Structure formats: C-alpha cells, structure tokens
Structure 1
Amino acid sequence: MNVPLSYLEPQPLWKHFYRLTQIPRPSGHEEHIRSFMSGFGTSLGLHTSVDDAGNVLIRKPATPGMEHCKGVILQAHLDMVPEKESDSPHDFRHDPLTPFVDGEWVRARGTTLGADNGIGVAAIMSILESSSLPHGPLEALLTSNEENGMSGAFGLRSDLLQGDILLNLDSEDEGELFTGCAGGLEGTVTFTCGQQKPPADYRGYDIRIRGLKGGHSGMDIHLGRGNANKIMNRLLFEAYLRHGILLGSLDGGGLRNAIARESTARIAIPSRSERDVLATLERHAGIIRKELSTTDPGMEIEAEPAPLPDSIMDDGSLQKLLRITAAFPDGVMRMSHEMPGLVETSNNLASMRAEGGRATIACLLRSSVDSARDDLQRMIESIAGLAGAEAVFDGAYPGWKPDPESEVLQLMQHVYEHTFGHSPQVRAVHAGLECGIIGAACPGLDMISFGPTIRSPHSPDERVQIASVSRFMDLLTATLAEVPAHHTSEKHA
C-alpha cells in the first residue's frame, strides 16, 4: 500500500517520524541524529544543549496558566537497532530507511524500522513544535546509545534535570502502563584456540542458518523462538561426534539485546565421509525445523561447498567450544511469582565468534531480582571456569522497582479511563528501560513508561500499529494537560 507516512494520523507525529527514518542513527553512530535534534530545538527558539554523554536536552516553558504545574520530562532515545535481512545491501551508517504502510502497520523494507524509539522521539518533536497543546514546564531528554549499553543514561548528570515527573516513551504495548523493569548485565566468555592446518583429504563446506524471527531479547524471550547460535552448535556437535568434522570459523548473532537470527560456520569434512556428513546435517536440520515449525517457520539451514579453511581449531579447542555452548544458558530461567506472566530472569546467548585463534561468546543477563541475576552470573562463570575459559561481566544497569503509590500512575489511569472508556493494564516489563538508571541518578522522580504497539523490535520484521500510535498520542497530550500543580509544601527547583 503506497501511502506516504505524512498522510497518517496524527500527521505532525508521522511527519517527524518519517524525517527520522531518513537520518542514519545506529547505536554508537548518532552524530547525525544528535545534530539534527539539536538544530530542531534551536530552530524553535528553545533552550537546547548536548551533554558530555551525547544526550540532547530541550526545555520548553509552560503554556499560559500552567506555569505552576509539576515539571514533566519527556524521555526517549535517539539510536536504533541496526538489523537487516541477510540479502539486504543496506548500510545503516549512511543509508536512509525505507518505511511503508502495510495494512494496519508501518514497517521498513529489509531492515528494522526504528519505531523503537523513533515514535517516542517524533511524539516529543510534535509536542515541542505545537503552539496549541496545553502543558506545564517541559524538558525533552533524548538519550544516546540506549540499545548498546545505555551509556547516555549512565552519563546523565544528577543536576541536569529540573522536572518532577518522567514519562518514558519507550514501551511497546499500547493500553499498558509500565511501572517497573528488569536490570541487566553483559557477559563475555573468551578463550584461545589452538590452530592447525586442515588435512589434505578434507573438503570445505559452509553451514548457514537464517530466516529465524529473532526479536527483542527481553520482550520476546518468552516466545520460545530459535537462537541461531544454539542451533548451529547442535548441528556442529552432532557432526563432530559422528564424523569428526573440523571447524575453521564461526560467526553467529549480533547485538546483545537481539535474539540471534543468523549464523555461518566454515567447516572441513573428511572426503571419504562427505555424503554421510551431509546426511547427518540434513537429518538433524529436519529435527530442528520440526521443533521450531510454529515459532520459526521461515528458518533455513543450508550446507554448501566452500574453499577449505586456511586453518582449523585443534581438537581440544573445538570440544571446548561445543561443550561450553551446549551447556550455556539461553532463554527464560524463571518466571515471576509476584506478577504472573512476567519473566523474572533470562539470558540471551547473543553472539559467537571463532576465528584466528580466539573464540568469543557474548550474552545479556536480565532479572528483576538482583540475587537471581547474581546466581545466573555464577552459573556462566562456572561453565567457563570448568572449561578453562575466561568470563568477564560489565555494563550492569539497575532495575526499576514498581511504586503502587505513584501519583503519575494514578493520574494516567484516570486519564486513560476518561479518554478511552476502559482501564489500562499496569505492568512491569522484562527489558532494560532507562528509567532504572535515570531514577538512580535523579532520586525522587515519579516515573512511568508507555508507548504504541510495536511488534518484533530488534529484527527486520519490526512494525508499529498505526491506530495505536494515535491512541498513544492522545494519552500523552491528555496527560500533559492534566498534570497537577505543586503542593504548597513542595520545593520546586
């Protein structure tokens, strides 16, 4: 359906969202979007600054009559996850995205859409630009590098913000208000691999896995989708045990917060056993296809002739890699008892690299319970230690504990019921929202997170539901109009 995004409602938001899709902004390369947003704030005559962490802050005075209302911080992140189909030539650092309307959804051709969190940024832009929407004092906090370590939120100065209420616009289920999130920790396991020349009587093959759905390693981890790294290890382990195949290189997965969709391995097969090896691979590929026929019907597993690797892992190194990966935790570890249906603890085996004498496994641990996260860390450390590998953990970020007495929660429940005629759901989320980090840096903020309906973020199937965007914007503007005044006992910065 060839409908320009600017024709969708609300038009100001979609106009700005389209502009954002034309500006490259993968995590870690946000110079263009940062410059654009800084120029946008300045062009409106608003106080605009960029801090040392790359965050953009724009302040807008209250509309007449609302000067004494509590200050509101509208918060979203500038970057997007750069995931694409294997055959896409897209260069996220230089090429614009190609968004299009697909029925009731907007998606992009062959890549992630960047609705996470471009819709939130576009909503903020439309509010900053508006001369008719009522609101109290506003601050727009646009953080950097959220998808790859949340370094912008971590670098936030405690004295930067003046507001009392923070509205995080980075959730993905319209009709739900989020009041808590999981904390996280990055883990990396590495070891040195012995290398040797492949025997002359071996032939080279490439094994490729692609077509998995992948998705967000927090929001989608409970869906049981296939992980390309785990699948590849099953195939290699079976072929190794039965036929003694050798491994030249391995490259699987990508970002820590995305479930691995693709993996490629360059192997060496004994020439005398070539037909048997391929039959074993196909047989077990069929077993895995059957297991994942519901969650990943588009999965493809192929084995094709390739040049013989220049070098291969020695037998001890290959066994170490296969056994570590087989034992490595992946997926849901425990569900929450306090909030039915919510994942408490999980691990995402995000990426695997093995080449040139070194193997690296990267993962992301999440939990809303610190002790459970620590136990999961110890599990991974133990697996690595038993195998003689090194495990390093860093990039920890705190969770956000729900506050049932939150004033902004009560306000938004009332506004939602009045606007839409029914109650919203109140939930916590098994993902890393910046609220936990910002709340730790700026104690006392009353926070809530909400957004439109986005499906399959962090994958090329990412899409945002058009009707939900309109409802999301209605809720946001109605909330801003109803923000209460300061109590006389409160001190306003």
Structure 2
Amino acid sequence: MTSIRTLAPETLWGFFDTICSIPHPSGHEAALRSWISNWADGQGLPVLQDEVGNLIIKKPASPGMENRKGVVLQAHLDMVPQANAGTEHDFTQDPIRPRIDGDWVCASGTTLGADNGIGMAACLAVLADPALIHGPLEVLLTVDEESGMTGAFGLQPGWLEGEILLNTDSEQDGDVYIGCAGGVDANITLPYQAEPVPAGYQAFLLTISGLRGGHSGINIHEGRASANKLLAELMHQVTEHTDARLASLSGGTLRNAIAREAAALLVVPASDSERLQELLVTHQQHYSTEFAGVDDFIRLELNAAELPARVMSRVMQQKLTRAMLACPHGVMAMSRDMPDVTQTSTNLGVIETRDDHVHVQCLIRSLNNAGRDRVAAMTAAVFELAGATVAFDGAYPGWQPNPDSPIMKLVLDTHHEVFGALPAVKVIHAGLECGLLGNVYPHWDMVSFGPTIQGAHSPDERVNITAVARFWQLLIRVLEQTPERVS
C-alpha cells in the first residue's frame, strides 16, 4: 500500500495502487487478470474470459435503469515496461511503486502504468460501488494492447450486449476523442557476414542516452529526438571519416516508443581514436543546439570496451548504416481536414544485433490505409535495397470519426453541465482499440476520454491528480444519463 490510496476518489486510487503492485507488462497480464477475476467473483459479478485472455465483467443496472442502453466500459490490462539506464527493475516480477509529486503521481525511474491502469481502475471502481446510478454495464479488459493489440484482434462477436462503448485510454483532460489512427508493424531482418577484427584495432562503446523518448503516436509531432536516428547519423559520419568497423548496434526497446537510448560497439585503429572522439564532441554540440527546448539532456559517450571477436564486413556495414540513415522516421503528413492533427507517421523503434543479423522494428501509423501503406512501401524499399527481408504484420484499422455520434453529444453536454465548458473534440494519432473493436461490434456508438497523462511509454510518465478526479466525475455522470433503449 502506498500514499496514493489517500487521494480522491479513494476507490479508484485504491484499485490503481493494487494494479501497480501486480506486475503486468504486455504478455504478462495473467496475475493481474487472475486477481481481478477473483475480486469480481467475490463481488458476485459474472466474469467471462475469452480464448485470447480478455476479461468481461457484467454488472446489472441500478433499480429503475433497466431500460437504458447497455454500456461497455473498456480498458487494457497491460502496461509499457520502460526503465531508465541504471534503474534495476524486472517488470515481470517487481511492483511499480507510485509516489505523489505535487499534483502528479509518478514512479521512480520506470513507467507508471497510468496508461491504461487509471482507466482500468475507474472501470473497477464503477463495478465496486453499489450506490452509482447506471444502466446495464459490462467491463471489457483486453490483453496485450501495447505490443500487438492481441485482445482487440481476438475479440469475438456475441460476447458483449452493450450498445455504447466508453474507452478510457485517452490522456488529456478536457478532450473527447472520436477517432484514431490505424497502424502496421514493419519487421526487418538484415543478415551480415562477419570478419575477424583487424590487427591493431581498439574497441569502443559509443552510447546515446538522456533522451525524453515518449509515445510514438502522441509525441511524434513534437520533434523529440530518436536515439536510433541519432545513432544512424553518427554511424554514417564515423564510417565516412574514420576506418571504424562495426561489431554490433542496438537501440530502443519497443516499436511504439520513441527510442531514448542506443549504442554501437566499434573497433578503430589507434590512429583514428582521437578523430572518433572529436566527431562525438562536434555532434554533442550540434544536438544540444538542434534539440534545445525539446531534448535538452542528450548525452554522447565513448568508452573503452572489450575487443569483440568479429566485426561486420565493410560492404554490409555500409549498407546497414545507409539504410538506417534513409529509414523514414517522424511525421510524414499532416491532416488536411483536421488542423494540427498528424495524419501519417512512422517510428524507427527498435534495433537489435544477434546471430549475425540486425533486426529492426518500425511502427507506421496513419488515419487512413493509403498513408499507412505508402510509408510501409517506402520503408520496405529502403531496407530491401540493403539486402534485408521485410515483413509486415499486426495491421489494424483506424477509427473513423462519426460527427453525428449520440454518445459524443452526451459526453459534450455532460462535460458542459459538470464543468461549465465544452471539451475539445479530437482525433488521436495513436492506436486506440476502438477501430478493431468497432469492426467486431459495428453497431457500437463509441467515444474515448480520460485524465491527463504525460510522458506515456517513458519513465517520465505521470498522471495528474486533479484530472483523475475530473475524469471520474464525468464518467459517473455520463453513466447516470445513458439514454433509453430504442424498442
């Protein structure tokens, strides 16, 4: 138990504290799912688990509300596991330890899991409170949203009876979302020939750290630096101006997070070691100026390392560094219909070297399939020219906005009633599950809203305490005003 249990609303924060205490990174939600299932069963609430591991919990309507449209409250069970370098944390074993910092709740050196743990806690708090007024309720908790949307992909028709979906996975108080981007994963594999280290060479580990990182959809338009793209630039310069040879390189840990750290193991002749250091000093100064006010703590370091057994052939080293340099990254197009909305983007998320292969993962997002497919083709062309194989999987559709949505109007009117102001209606450049869920249940009227969460998908993640209270007020008032079913 932590001090966040003293915050209001206490039931919601109590559930969030429990969620933090049970490890639940993507692919490891079983323990949390079991706890929630046992808790709901103890409350006398029917619990179902489908074939992919999604949980569905049902709660009957309050007396007199039986004739209202059924509402599905939806959140995802998993969280993004990210820790700062030097922070020892096993996300499959260690609890998250939330702490209060002013009007925010955060963790120490790791992601907090407010995305989407706060939404999940709100769903459970609604189930737990017998005094709340609402129509027929179902809570849908999906698995593996962050790494593959497995739960949303695997949801089958016929399990849920509601007509309205309230998604709780948005991250800005005062905004209501009625659409989102779709996406696809690019999985790239480049084999290389390895050679013995030339005689007289020294080994160095070049590291890039201190970057903000962040959500590859929500933060991509802010111009934050990608450690992987910086590494590509540095490797291009290093191999152009020295006789350096590359043994391995790595960067990022998740395809949906902007890479915060990257590294390359190099060997250079003794005569080039000073030039290598000069290149890093020059680029350190360049990046400090270029990313001032956006990424102020970029750090380039060069340290002596143990000499590796082998290095990449010169031909493959050149192909790899140039492919990484040419790989699309960042905003590719802005929407012409919605001002200040990113239409298409891509994230060079993960680079890993193992077994004489370099593996790269990119996540391409777009509000439409044409934009998504165009950037996918560009990415494939770049790496195929270098001799890589490129496979695309996990494609999911966007959520097309419905400007005539009745539930959107209800949320807008309720927000005005409760807070005296209308919220902003937006489309989010992130992969909410609504697009996939709406494919399975096309009759659903859907909307998404949530509290302010900053730094999602990075150890800077934090959630605003005041915004959580406002989110809860809005949610329970919307449930009270759910319209009657049309007979």
TMscore range, shorter length: over 0.9
% identical aligned pairs: 45
Give the equivalent residue in structure 2 for 1:491.
Answer: none
Written as runs of structure 1 = structure 2, the 5 A alignment for 1:194-209 is: 194-209=193-208
1:343 aligns to 2:348 (yes or no): no
SS, match of residue 236 in structure 1: helix
Give the equivalent residue in structure 1 for 2:141.
Answer: 142
Matched AA of 1:40: W
Q: CA deviation at 1:171?
A: 0.1
SS, match of residue 148 in structure 1: coil
1:300 aligns to 2:299 (yes or no): yes
Distance 1:435 1:180 in 2: 8
Distance 2:458 2:279 in 1: 30
Written as runs of structure 1 = structure 2, the 5 A alignment for 1:421-432 is: 421-432=420-431
Distance 1:289 1:414 in 2: 46
Matched AA of 1:146: E
**RMSD of aligned residue pairs (Cα, Å):** 1.1
Matched AA of 1:451: G
Matched AA of 2:482: V
Give the equivalent residue in structure 2 for 1:441.
Answer: 440
Q: CA deviation at 1:264?
A: 1.4
Query: Are 1:250 and 1:355, in contact at CA under 8 Å, matched by a contact in 2?
Result: no
1:257 aligns to 2:256 (yes or no): yes
SS, match of residue 361 in structure 1: strand
Distance 1:35 1:467 in 2: 30
Equivalent pairs counted in the alignment come to 487
Distance 1:195 1:285 in 2: 30
Query: Are 1:253 and 1:351, in contact at CA under 8 Å, matched by a contact in 2?
Result: yes
Give the equivalent residue in structure 2 for 1:171.
Answer: 170
Q: CA deviation at 1:390?
A: 1.3
Distance 2:208 2:46 in 1: 50
Distance 1:249 1:472 in 2: 46
Give the equivalent residue in structure 2 for 1:390.
Answer: 389
Give the equivalent residue in structure 2 for 1:78.
Answer: 77
Give the equivalent residue in structure 1 for 2:356.
Answer: 357
SS, match of residue 206 in structure 1: strand
Distance 2:46 2:407 in 1: 26
Give the equivalent residue in structure 1 for 2:19.
Answer: 20
Of residues 186-195 and 58-67 in structure 1, the stretch that sits farther from structure 2 once superposed is 186-195
Give the equivalent residue in structure 1 for 2:235.
Answer: 236
- TM-score normalized with structure 2 length: 0.99
Q: CA deviation at 1:16?
A: 0.7
Distance 1:125 1:327 in 2: 46
Query: Are 2:83 and 2:110, in contact at CA under 8 Å, matched by a contact in 1?
Result: yes
**Unaligned 5+ runs, structure 2:** none
Q: CA deviation at 1:147?
A: 0.2
1:118 aligns to 2:123 (yes or no): no
Query: Are 1:3 and 1:101, in contact at CA under 8 Å, matched by a contact in 2?
Result: no
1:380 aligns to 2:373 (yes or no): no
Query: Are 2:2 and 2:98, in contact at CA under 8 Å, matched by a contact in 1?
Result: no
Of residues 297-306 and 428-437 in structure 1, the stretch that sits farther from structure 2 once superposed is 297-306
Moved runs in structure 1, 4+ residues, more than 3 A? none
Deviation digits for residues 90-132 of structure 1, max 9, x if unmatched?
1100001111000111000110000000000100111100010
Q: CA deviation at 1:3?
A: 7.8
Deviation digits for residues 126-182 of structure 1, max 9, x if unmatched?
110001000000000000000001000100011111000000000000111100000
Distance 2:273 2:392 in 1: 41
Distance 2:242 2:12 in 1: 58
Deviation digits for residues 190-211 of structure 1, max 9, x if unmatched?
1210101111210000011111
Of residues 375-384 and 338-347 in structure 1, the stretch that sits farther from structure 2 once superposed is 375-384
Matched AA of 1:192: P
Distance 2:51 2:299 in 1: 44
Give the equivalent residue in structure 2 for 1:459.
Answer: 458
Give the equivalent residue in structure 2 for 1:210.
Answer: 209
Deviation digits for residues 353-372 of structure 1, max 9, x if unmatched?
12431011110000001111
Distance 2:365 2:15 in 1: 33
SS, match of residue 96 in structure 2: coil
- TM-score normalized with structure 1 length: 0.98
Query: Are 1:235 and 1:285, in contact at CA under 8 Å, matched by a contact in 2?
Result: no
Query: Are 1:181 and 1:431, in contact at CA under 8 Å, matched by a contact in 2?
Result: yes
Query: Are 2:99 and 2:105, in contact at CA under 8 Å, matched by a contact in 1?
Result: yes
Distance 2:343 2:412 in 1: 25
Query: Are 2:243 and 2:272, in contact at CA under 8 Å, matched by a contact in 1?
Result: no
SS, match of residue 47 in structure 2: strand
Q: CA deviation at 1:289?
A: 2.3
Matched AA of 1:191: L
SS, match of residue 141 in structure 1: strand
Q: CA deviation at 1:276?
A: 1.7
Distance 1:301 1:55 in 2: 43
Give the equivalent residue in structure 1 for 2:281.
Answer: 282
Distance 1:336 1:162 in 2: 35
